[in-house]
Amino acid sequence: MSFKALVTEKIGDSFATSLKDFEAADLGVGDVTVAVEWSTLNYKDGLAIAGKRIMQSYPMIGGVDFAGTVEASDNAAYKPGDKVIANGWGLSQTHNGGYAQKARVPAEWLIPLPSAFTTREAMAIGTAGYTAMLCVMALEHGGLSPDRGDILVTGANGGVGSIAISLLSALGYRVTASTGRPAEADYLRNLGAAEIVDRAQFSAAGKPLGSERWAGAVDSVGSHTLANVLAQTKYRGVVAACGLAQGIDLPASVAPFILRNVTLAGIDSVNAPRDVRVEAWARLARDLKPAKLAATITEIGLADVPRVGGAILKGEVRGRTVVNVNA
Ligand code: NDP
């Protein structure tokens, strides 16, 4: 039986993404088949459908996340009717992803949908929001608490940034948001940012150490931005690094580590162990305020994904985009 899927193909040296009728038999290996309800759009999805070294074979259905209802299962852990979510693993890399009305995956890639969320809300969180929670958990693991001082969130208007601001402010932290879009100040304040700073102050090469400004940071930007944030982090501060919106390089010195005991915590959501995922989603259910989440959401259909995927790579998308795969 066929269903609608957004398929990316490689034609010569270029890439094309279009809606197709896809056969269930072509979905790939897996012991659980899911009727997908919602997917989402992350920066990585923009890269994938633009042919930028995410997908490892073609044709491929993109989408690193999905949420839906189990339709068939050969694994005792799931039965038809169960609500599930999937984030990362091989989705949109080695295995067909969430931009389709059906997905088939190994049971280990799924976790049960937390009862606090609808499938749409889970995809409004998606990989970006779950990564923001992993960053918050890393700050806590490093010993931070709200009394230690301000937390800087870079890439503030993005998916990771928006959810990180929301989570940290709900936990009682004073959050400073770094952005290149000052016109979105009201949006950022509404999410919980106490202060907004221009990202330009972090964008160019800086000194190995600066004045101590941040107890910690969630950085989705990398490159000079991360180097400058490290240089301005207070004694025994913690910086969670998850992204590369400015660049993959890190032109920094060891001064913050050896003179200020700063911790740089790396964050990977794609291959995070199952117990870490389950904990992160349980924390999201507890700490993310539904009204704040709702303020981040833009809804699109499958056919809109290539256009909005191009916009996210240009830094033009605000907050989180959910994809209705049945629209
Ligand atoms: P978004 O595109 O939604 O957000 C990125 C934000 O970064 C933009 O909104 C913009 O915020 C800022 N930005 C963009 N370009 C630049 C630039 N040149 N210099 C400084 N800031 C810039 O992406 P996501 O939130 O989905 O992802 C953010 C990053 O985190 C990406 O690099 C992504 O690959 C990575 N990521 C990593 C994960 C992991 O497992 N490690 C998981 C999820 C994401 P503003 O306009 O406010 O300045």
Together in a domain, 253 and 313: no
Ligand 1 lined by 269 (C-beta under 6 Å): yes
Q: Is 128 in the pocket of ligand 1 (CB under 6 A)?
A: yes
For the stretch 122-171, pLDDT in tens is 999 999 999 999 999 999 999 999 999 999 999 999 999 999 999 999 99
Is residue 251 located within the same domain as residue 172?
Answer: yes
pLDDT above 90 covers what percent of the chain? 98
In a mutational test of the pocket of ligand 1, which residue from 40, 41, 43 has the highest number of ligand atoms less than 8 Å from its CB? Answer: 43
Give per-residue pLDDT as tens, 76-116: 999 999 999 999 999 999 999 999 999 999 999 999 999 99
Q: CA–CA separation, 312 vs 319, rounded Å?
A: 10
How many degrees, rounded to 5, is the angle at CA 158 between CA 225 and CA 191? 110
Q: Which ligand 1 atom sits closest to the C-alpha of 313? A: 2
Whether 277 is covered by a domain: the verdict is: no
Reported as type and span, the H/E element at residue 81 is none
The verdict on 134 and 102 lying in the same domain is no
Residue 280 is assigned to a structural domain of this protein: no
Q: Which of 56, 28, 19 is nearest to 305 (CA)?
A: 19
Q: In ligand 1, which atom is closest to the CA atom of 272? A: 40
Is there an atom of ligand 1 within 6 Å of 268 CB? yes
Distance CA 61, CA 123 (A): 17
End of a domain among 266, 288, 312? 266
C-alpha 114, offset from chain centre? 18
In a domain, 153, yes or no: yes
Interval between CA 243 and ligand 1 midpoint (Å)? 6
Q: Is 53 a residue whose pLDDT tops 90? A: no
Query: What digits encode the pLDDT tens for the residues 10-41?
Result: 999 899 999 999 999 999 999 999 999 999 99
Q: Report the CATH number that the domain containing residue 170 is assigned in CATH.
A: 3.40.50.720
CA dihedral 44, 50, 56, 60 (to 10 degrees): 100
Q: Are residues 146 and 89 in the same domain?
A: no
**Three-class SS state of 1:** coil
What is d(CA 178, CA 160) in angstroms, rounded to the nearest whole number? 13
* 157 CA: nearest ligand 1 atom: 47
Domain total of the chain: 2
Which ligand 1 atom is at minimum distance from the Cα of 131? Answer: 42
Domain boundary among 251, 266, 281: 266
Dist. CA 155 → ligand 1 center (Å): 5
Task: Assess whether 176 and 235 both reside in one domain.
Answer: yes
Identify the residue whose C-alpha is closest to ligand 1 atom 43: 128
Q: Are residues 84 and 62 in the same domain?
A: yes
Whether 189 is covered by a domain: the verdict is yes
Residue 245 CA to ligand 1 center (angstroms) comes to 4
> How sure is the predictor about 196, in pLDDT bands with cuts at 50, 70 and 90?
very high
CB of 198 within 6 A of ligand 1: the answer is no
Query: Does residue 286 lie within any of the structural domains?
Result: no
Alpha-carbon Rg for the chain, nearest whole angstrom, is 20
Tell me the percentage of the chain whose pLDDT exceeds 70: 100
User: Is the CB of 317 within 6 Å of ligand 1?
Assistant: yes
Is 121 among the domain residues? no
Kindly indicate the confidence band of residue 317, based on its pLDDT and cuts at 50, 70 and 90.
very high
C-alpha closest to that of 98 among 40, 185, 184: 40
Residue 284 lies in a domain: no
- Distance CA(125)–CA(134), nearest Å, equals 12
Write out the two tokens for 100.
């389709």
Residue 285's pLDDT is: 96
Boundary residue ending a domain (245, 266, 287): 266
Among the atoms of ligand 1, which is closest to the Cα of residue 312? 2
Do 204 and 230 fall into the same domain?
Answer: yes
Q: Has residue 318 got a pLDDT over 90? A: yes
Using the predicted structure, report yes or no on whether residue 65 has a pLDDT greater than 90: yes
Are 220 and 318 contained in the same domain? no
Question: Cβ(68) to ligand 1 under 6 A?
Answer: no
Half-sphere exposure of 83 (CA within 13 A, CB side): 13
In a shared domain, residues 173 and 80: no
- Is residue 197 in some structural domain? yes
Looking only at the bridges linking them, the beta strands covering 110-112 and 83-87 are antiparallel
Q: Which domain holds residue 35?
A: 2-113+296-324
- Closest to 217 measured CA to CA, from 270, 263, 269: 263
Return the residue whose CA atom lies nearest to atom 23 of ligand 1: 43
pLDDT class of 61 with cuts at 50, 70, 90: very high
Cα end-to-end distance, the chain, whole Å = 19
Shared domain for 145 and 245, answered yes or no, is yes
pLDDT at 1: 80
Ligand 1 centroid from CA 86, angstroms: 21
Residue 71: CA count within 13 A, CB half-sphere? 14
Q: What is the pLDDT of residues 249-304, one digit of tens each?
A: 999 999 999 999 999 999 999 999 999 999 999 999 999 988 999 999 999 999 99
Ligand 1 center to 23 CA (angstroms): 34
245-278 b/e with 16+ CB inside 10 Å = b?
A: bbeeeeebeeebeeebebbbbebebeebeeeebe
Helix (DSSP H) and strand (DSSP E) numbers for the chain: 10, 16
Same domain for 159 and 262? yes
| CATH number of domain containing 108 | 3.90.180.10
Same domain, 210 and 312: no
Reported in sequence order, the residue ranges of the chain that DSSP labels E, i.e. its strands, are 2-11, 14-23, 32-41, 60-61, 65-73, 83-87, 102-105, 110-112, 151-153, 175-179, 193-198, 214-219, 233-241, 263-266, 297-301, 320-324
List the Cα angle 269/42/35 in 5-degree steps: 85
